[in-house]
Amino acid sequence: MSAVDLAEAIRLRRLSVRELVAAFLDRIDAVNPLVNAIVSLRERSDILREADAADAHLAQGGPAGSLFGLPMAIKDLAMTRGLRTSFGSPIFADFVPQEDDFFVERIRKAGGIIIGKTNVPEFGLGSNTYNNVFGPTLNAFDPALTAGGSSGGAAVALALDMVPVADGSDFGGSLRNPAAWNNVFGFRPSQGLVPGGPDLEVFHAQMGIDGPMGRSISDMALLLDVQAGYHPHAPLSWEKPGSFLEGLATPASGGRVGWLGDLGGHLPVEPGILDLCEAALGRFAEASFLTEPLLPDFDFEALWQAFVVLRQASSGSALKVHYDDPLKRALLKPEAVWEVENAMRLTAPQIRAASVIRTSWHRTLLSLFEHFDLIALPTAQVFPFDVGTHWPSEVAGRTMDSYHRWMQVSAFATLGGCPALNVPVGFDDKGRPLGMQLIGRPRGDLAVLRAGAAYEATLPWQVGAS
């Protein structure tokens, strides 16, 4: 059953919360030891006690929120009150926060039962989920392969039916990439739709965004309805325009899709990826979404370098407090040290210049969306690789100059502040999953989800791995 159907069954008391939660815990017991997707799992007795309390609440005629009784495992980059939050780092291996992230608080208020966390790479850096606290998360389709990241634990738990719906977060593809590599949907919302925080700094660090992951578009809309909306302590957030789940009742009426592909050869892409995406776009035509090739007149290398600078200024600067402590610095992985040391070399004019390039890209996107309803390109430039390889050093014969260069394809939506949806496109001849991004105009989140639902209806295979 879908998350939407499960939530309805609980509200109508066709299914008890205890029955539902126990079934998911049984599934976790059976599957999680094979893939290491869920970490910091609470004691079963404590979870079932909370489930029983939820059933008693319903029996007394109490109200039920939209996620009432659904078991939720929160990505381990988000704070969960009273539950260990490690950020995938030995520095925080035993950290138990006393407050929730804003969206976690909203999940609790909507009746979700938080059962544990989903695994992440250290501080969310990189698209391969491994760390020195819990170890690696393995791909839902092949345990020899990476799950992607940084929402790798969430994607695998979702694909293997250990949770009904999942949260992820995305700066440079961290939600989209693992969704693609585990045959599920993942949605990076428009900048500001889901409020971030609480945080020490709320104005500069605004390119990392929380969003939903699901085995269906409607399941993601269910969670997004809870996550989204203005929060006074997140001043760059904004009110959601209405219910996304209800909005899906009005189907998409087709549209024009601009296909970026590999940007005319600018992006190195593993053979087979473009073929899968183009076949998916062919199916999309069944829903009256017609594709045209698109190559904007833009300096994409300059755009990537702007992304690198802005990421260092944000992520690297945030990690400097740990770098400054010699004992903690020794616990940082090399990619974290690289981010910090490069951030320390940045100047204010460099950061402003990067923001100017980003602004120019935003203007370019707005002009493109005057002619196209969606822009499409692969979600990843490579298929899932060996889990023991931290990151690809070469793609299609080209050397990668940083730990995240091979994910350049994810930067375009991030820098534009656009909603970006990963949709599954199928498998290569080795059985490795892949996905494609559908990018919409800023604040056009519902239109992107409607298009995703139209695409979902054309899929000839089941989403997920179970």
**How many Å apart are CA 257 and CA 100, to the nearest integer?**
39
**How many Å apart are CA 318 and CA 373, to the nearest integer?**
36
**How many Å apart are CA 409 and CA 266, to the nearest integer?**
10
Q: Which of 40, 75, 86, 218 is catalytic?
A: 75
Q: Say if residue 378 is exposed, middle or buried (CB neighbours under 10 Å; 0-12, 13-18, 19+).
A: buried
389 to 131, 144, 231, 433: CA distances (angstroms): 13, 11, 40, 18
For 211, the token pair is 């969003």
Side-chain-side CA neighbours of 58 within 13 Å: the count stands at 22
Q: Which of 66, 127, 150, 315 is catalytic?
A: 150
SS3 state at 242: coil
For 277, the token pair is 């995406």
Active site residue 150: yes
The DSSP secondary structure of 176-203, one letter per residue, reads HHHHHHTT-EEEEPPTTTS---S-S--S
What residues have CB less than 8 Å from 287, skipping those under 6 apart?
Answer: 252, 254, 451, 454, 455, 457, 458
Q: Which of 66, 127, 151, 174 is catalytic?
A: 174
**How many Å apart are CA 226 and CA 235, to the nearest integer?**
18
What residues have CB less than 8 Å from 158, skipping those under 6 apart?
Answer: 165, 166, 182, 184, 213, 214, 215, 464
CA angle 78, 84, 85 (to 5 degrees): 30
The DSSP secondary structure of 383-413, one letter per residue, reads ---BTT-SS-SEETTEE-SSTTGGGGGGHHH
Q: Say if residue 87 is exposed, middle or buried (CB neighbours under 10 Å; 0-12, 13-18, 19+).
A: buried
Active site residue 75: yes
**How many Å apart are CA 140 and CA 148, to the nearest integer?**
10
**How many Å apart are CA 155 and CA 182, to the nearest integer?**
6
Q: Which amino acid is at 295?
A: L
The DSSP secondary structure of 255-279, one letter per residue, reads EEEEE-TTTTTTS---TTHHHHHHH
To which H or E segment does residue 112 belong? none
Just list the catalytic residues: 75, 150, 174
